[in-house]
Structure 1
């Protein structure tokens, strides 16, 4: 890698060493910081989410300015900002965003939960997951794929296949094919913009922290297919079908996570954990439906030398004593509302942990309050290394001085004396 200067090269090495040490549960030179920024760089640069979803130049300008001003131990990437044109072309039903279901001035996006797989469709999923995805699920969640419900299963194409392609003579199917070309072209432009941003950020001295993203198999079924109400009912009414489906989704998740990690050349896969939190399901349900399949996915990554970062949304205090099952340095945990002293005690011997400066404090609190809270976290979780100072969840708007207070706390209270 070519750096923009010798100083940038040295800064990259220092930051990378700091992150390597902390993920290996060693004492770095100081506690690293990962600021919990969502779409905030856009607003600090005087624009908004709607604008940067469609204007690549404004997007890059805002995030480059943010990284210059805050100088974290890694860089904040705009990769999670939805490419507006792509989602417009897809006519995606899973989300609402500014200008598409939400007001233009909305600061975030909204997931639209639905029963995108019916309770009697488990057998369709189990029989042929790819066909279910293409001809049932995708037409329900993407308006662009509405016509795919008229296609025949590809497994029907065996010999003398001409008649199997008759559905492709339909005008709506042909329009979908053209729409896919348009989507691919728009994504190619967006991918190059994001890739160039990342290369420049690293050349300026900032290592990349996260590579790919995956989900717990139960969350794939519960968020994306059955919905919250549906998956709850399934745990009681058809638990065996649910477990069969989890087996299928687990295999698909492992393949997809490994492929994504290889494509991104990253050494880390990030998992936002949704439906395994305290209060969402009982301990028995967690140990039956949620944890076994997630553990299999994580172990598959660990076996390939990939670090799994598990973001425990909500509280995980009743789960802590049952999830410390991985080799030292193989898994990292990020916490939202979990008591960090309990997390350190339960997991800190083998896992890097991060969190949990409250989102409400960062948005409405004062810098002195934030700094004091961060000091307490550092003194509680930083002993022996293996702790990253971060928020409980990302913020889209708020007081930038509170983020500077987080950085100041790490530099003032997080230095290890060796």
Structure 2
């Protein structure tokens, strides 16, 4: 089949599920960080630090594995950066959304460690939690979150920008801007090359759960959990201050030029939401501190015409029923630890279910065990529409065995038809 035909076939398959229709079979949406490098004979640092090697490795992986879409994500969470620039430089947001290894020597950010820099050449990049905002600074943040992020938080997060207006800071920001442009160009080139091979990519906006912004980037998870007990009203006020900013982030990043939609052949815009604190909270805390603000951001994102793509990290079992409060069929829900059968039992086809084999199976299993797992899951869960997200707990691991990934694909082709 010609690449243009493959592109249309795969895009039709993905669009059908997202729009509540029945495709020919369940689509496979792959995300890789290191797997493509290992498959092409590279170490982690090679594909993390070198865009050309990452492109080569990603295209080789795409050619050899019959996914319906593939995303090579080489960065780590950087929503705090895009929020900092929300008002002053919104054009930077798409590229600043992730912290990349190339930015690290310039910014000297305290959140990340990278292979070939602080870590071994073949290590996975790491995000390190850090207390940036002191508890006594809640009021300052609540009064003007944008001012706080730029004047107080950013210098602590990025010592390379610690003295705004200084020659050193100006030079660092100039280098950072150049790297953002380079990264954006390399991403566009990779997406274009994948499209030429027959792999579609949806335009993607970015947002976040307000409480997760506090936990991941400002107070650190251990502190925010304590704050829920000691300073509950301050937490609520901070969440309220963040909510409109995260709605605005979705709006800015989800505003896609008509010519881009035409080139990609789709009117769907996904908006990515990674959830982190959900597993740490009991239902009462979740319903009081987490869900109301997240629900508001999700509802506004849906009202913009975007499709929230939510990664429910950890166990979400205790909170599944809240998903019934959202419009039916308007969110893609990826569950990395919650059994997809449990999701079907509680919410049925109210969400577009995304699940797949865990990395433990792709690393330590056999092709037959992968086949058995996929047959059982697809038999139980594919009705009502679903997607397969291989390596559901973080994307396909760099240690996954290629023969197991191939077995997963063949199992979907056998058992995932409608």
Alignment-derived partner of residue 213 in structure 2? 220
The change in CA–CA distance for 1:48 and 1:382 in structure 2 (over 3 A counts) is same
Alignment-derived partner of residue 357 in structure 2? 357
| Structure-1 separation of matches of 2:121 and 2:210 | 34
Alignment-derived partner of residue 338 in structure 1? 338
> Does the 8 Å contact 1:63/1:78 carry over to 2?
no
> Does the 8 Å contact 1:352/1:388 carry over to 2?
no
Shift of 1:47: 0.9
Q: SS of the counterpart of 1:323? A: helix
> Does the 8 Å contact 2:3/2:198 carry over to 1?
yes
Shift of 1:68: 0.8
The structure with the larger Rg is 1
Alignment-derived partner of residue 93 in structure 1? 110
Shift of 1:99: 3.0
Q: SS of the counterpart of 1:270? A: strand
Shift of 1:78: 4.4
Alignment-derived partner of residue 324 in structure 2? 324
| Structure-2 separation of matches of 1:62 and 1:387 | 24
> Does the 8 Å contact 2:32/2:72 carry over to 1?
no
Shift of 1:212: 2.7
Alignment-derived partner of residue 290 in structure 2? 290
> Does the 8 Å contact 1:145/1:176 carry over to 2?
yes
Structure 1 alignment gaps of length 5 or more: 1-5, 149-167
Query: Residue 145 of structure 1: which of 155, 161, 165 is its match?
Result: 161
Higher relative contact order (CA 8 A, sep 6+): 1
- 1:109 is the counterpart of 2:125: yes
Q: SS of the counterpart of 2:102? A: helix
Alignment-derived partner of residue 72 in structure 1? 67
Shift of 1:263: 5.2
Question: How many residue pairs were aligned?
Answer: 385
Alignment-derived partner of residue 92 in structure 2? none
TM-score by length of 2: 0.88
Query: Residue 29 of structure 1: which of 24, 42, 53 is its match?
Result: 24
Alignment-derived partner of residue 417 in structure 2? 415
Shift of 1:36: 4.7
- 1:185 is the counterpart of 2:178: yes
The change in CA–CA distance for 1:77 and 1:209 in structure 2 (over 3 A counts) is farther
Q: SS of the counterpart of 1:76? A: strand
Matches within 5 A, 1:244-259: 244-259=237-252
Shift of 1:403: 0.7
TM-score by length of 1: 0.88
Shift of 1:213: 2.9
Alignment-derived partner of residue 269 in structure 1? 271
Alignment-derived partner of residue 48 in structure 1? 43
> Does the 8 Å contact 1:222/1:228 carry over to 2?
yes
- 1:235 is the counterpart of 2:235: no
> Does the 8 Å contact 1:354/1:388 carry over to 2?
yes
| Structure-2 separation of matches of 1:384 and 1:274 | 27
| Structure-1 separation of matches of 2:117 and 2:387 | 39
| Structure-2 separation of matches of 1:176 and 1:283 | 45
Shift of 1:258: 1.6
CA deviations 1:7-63 (Å, max 9, x no partner) are: 222211111111111122332100111235332101111111212222222111011
| Structure-2 separation of matches of 1:235 and 1:384 | 38
Between stretches 179-188 and 304-313, larger displacement belongs to 179-188
Q: SS of the counterpart of 1:120? A: helix
Structure 2 alignment gaps of length 5 or more: 77-98, 261-267
| Structure-1 separation of matches of 2:52 and 2:223 | 42
Q: SS of the counterpart of 1:333? A: strand
